[in-house]
């Protein structure tokens, strides 16, 4: 992944618009990392892409400048490496909490653990930890738990895309897992539920996030780099939008786009093959996500992908597209409706 933001959206004349990926150490809060980035770059408009608990390490994407507006459009899946301690139950479902119970784990081997993990893959219902940021009656669950209240949170659907056993230490009753999951998944809850399934209890001992929002450790920098030496260059916003189809504006469409007007896809888009980073439609199903039996026109594809929605609707379920300026820089985000209109949702360098 290229590291330098070039070119930046037009509203970022100083190029302070993009992403910085921090490899967060254990100890600092996510908010503390954001504060450090604000100080280092002298910029107020800074936000992170998903809280990490103080004890958790790893990938913490931080958006700077107008790139903060892109956070809702980034990929939601995450990848973690977790160490789970069997034989304990705690108040927070990790080893940071109060010890509630200690049990002797059963005799387990790798095959038994692999079999147990199989039941946690796919779409599951998961109960968040009592010590969590989930709202309960207008208050965070952790605040009520810290007052000694019994907090029973209802389970909610999450998706475990993959769950792999990386290691098993029977002497310490610890196992190491790799988990790819949807947003909203608690690895602490996964550890707790695995322990309940095995009949011995379990708690999360260590957690490291290795991917999130389309970023991974290959682009991450140490937090200490902000305090000494030259500041790391920002990542181009387009790197975070690689999961979206791209459409490039023609020069004559720019005024309408910047005024927030909806434009026909045919009028705005060059052929898919002409847009960097998108495949040509040369075979059935070449455009990802449209489930085509033949290569339809763009309007036909939109109607198929958004069937059932009202004409002209602009909902979060409609396909999102990264819109490029003629020079290839990011112009904003649009969603497509069944009528084949690109409706601007986020416009950089908007007129007026």
62, 47 contact by CB (below 8 A): yes
Cis peptide before 26 (omega within 30 of 0): no
Per the residue annotation, which of 23, 53, 93, 337 is the catalytic one?
Answer: 53
Helical axes 110-118 vs 187-198, angle rounded to 10°: 120
User: Superfamily for 18-73+216-239?
Assistant: Pseudouridine synthase (3.30.2350.10)
Task: State the pLDDT at residue 325.
Answer: 93
Q: How far apart are CA 47 and CA 66, in angstroms?
A: 10
Evaluated on CA atoms 189, 190, 196, 200, the torsion sign reads negative
Task: State the pLDDT at residue 135.
Answer: 62
Helix, strand, or coil here: 105?
A: coil
Reading the block at residue 44, the tokens are: 């107020």
Task: State the pLDDT at residue 310.
Answer: 34
Task: State the pLDDT at residue 154.
Answer: 83
Is 337 designated active site?
no
205, 172 contact by CB (below 8 A): no
Which residues contact residue 43 at a Cβ distance below 8 angstroms, ignoring those fewer than 6 apart? 16, 37, 64, 65
Give the pLDDT of the chain (352 residues) as one tens digit per residue: 433 333 344 444 345 889 999 999 999 999 999 999 999 999 999 999 888 999 999 999 999 999 999 999 999 899 999 999 999 999 999 999 999 999 999 999 999 999 999 999 999 999 998 766 666 666 666 666 666 666 777 899 999 999 999 999 999 999 999 999 999 999 999 999 999 999 999 999 999 999 999 999 999 999 999 988 799 999 998 988 989 998 899 999 999 999 999 988 766 655 333 434 333 322 222 222 222 222 233 333 333 333 333 333 334 578 899 999 999 999 999 999 888 888 999 998 866 5
Q: Which residue has the tokens 């416009």?
A: 347
* Domain range list for the chain: 18-73+216-239, 78-212, 244-347
Which stretches of the chain are DSSP H helices? 30-41, 110-118, 141-146, 187-198, 254-258, 265-268, 298-305
Which stretches of 172-280 are DSSP H helices? 187-198, 254-258, 265-268
Task: Give the Å distances, CA to CA, from 300 to 15, 275, 337.
Answer: 39, 20, 11
Q: How far apart are CA 86 and CA 201, in angstroms?
A: 6
Q: How do residues 193-236 score in pLDDT, each as one tens digit?
A: 999 999 999 999 999 999 999 999 999 999 999 988 799 999 99
The topology (CATH level 3) of 78-212 is Pseudouridine synthase (3.30.2350)
Is the whole model's pTM more than 0.95, yes or no? no
């Amino acid at each position: 992944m290229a590291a330098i933001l070039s070119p930046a959206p037009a509203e970022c004349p100083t190029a302070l618009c993009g992403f910085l990926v921090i490899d967060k150490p254990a100890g600092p809060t996510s908010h503390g990392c954001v504060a450090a980035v604000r100080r280092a770059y002298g910029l107020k408009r800074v936000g992170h892409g998903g809280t990490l608990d103080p004890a958790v390490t790893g990938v913490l994407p931080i958006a700077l400048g107008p790139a903060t507006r892109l956070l809702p459009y980034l990929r939601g899946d995450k990848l973690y490496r977790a160490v789970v301690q069997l034989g304990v139950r705690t108040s927070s479902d990790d080893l940071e909490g109060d010890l509630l119970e200690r049990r002797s784990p059963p005799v387990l081997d790798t095959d038994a653990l692999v079999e147990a993990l199989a039941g946690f893959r796919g779409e599951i219902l998961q109960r968040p930890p009592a010590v969590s940021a989930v709202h309960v009656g207008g208050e965070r669950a952790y605040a009520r738990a810290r007052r000694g209240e019994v907090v029973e949170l209802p389970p909610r659907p999450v998706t475990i895309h993959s769950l792999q056993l990386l290691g098993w230490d029977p002497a310490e009753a610890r196992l190491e897992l790799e988990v790819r999951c949807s947003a909203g998944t608690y690895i602490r809850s996964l550890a707790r539920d695995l322990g309940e399934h095995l009949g011995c209890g379990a708690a999360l001992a260590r957690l490291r996030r290795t991917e999130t929002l389309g970023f991974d450790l290959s682009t991450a920098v140490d937090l200490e780099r902000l305090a000494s030496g030259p500041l790391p260059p920002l990542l181009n916003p387009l790197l975070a939008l690689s999961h979206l189809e791209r459409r490039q504006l023609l020069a004559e469409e720019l005024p309408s786009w910047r005024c927030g007007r909806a434009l026909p896809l045919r009028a705005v888009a060059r052929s898919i093959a002409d847009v960097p980073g998108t495949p040509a439609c040369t075979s059935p199903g070449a455009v990802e996500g449209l489930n085509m039996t033949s290569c339809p026109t763009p309007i036909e594809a939109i109607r198929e992908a958004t069937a059932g929605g009202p004409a002209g609707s602009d909902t979060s379920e409609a396909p999102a597209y990264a819109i490029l300026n003629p020079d290839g820089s990011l112009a904003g985000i649009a969603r497509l409706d069944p009528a084949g209109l690109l409706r601007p949702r986020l416009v950089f360098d908007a007129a007026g």
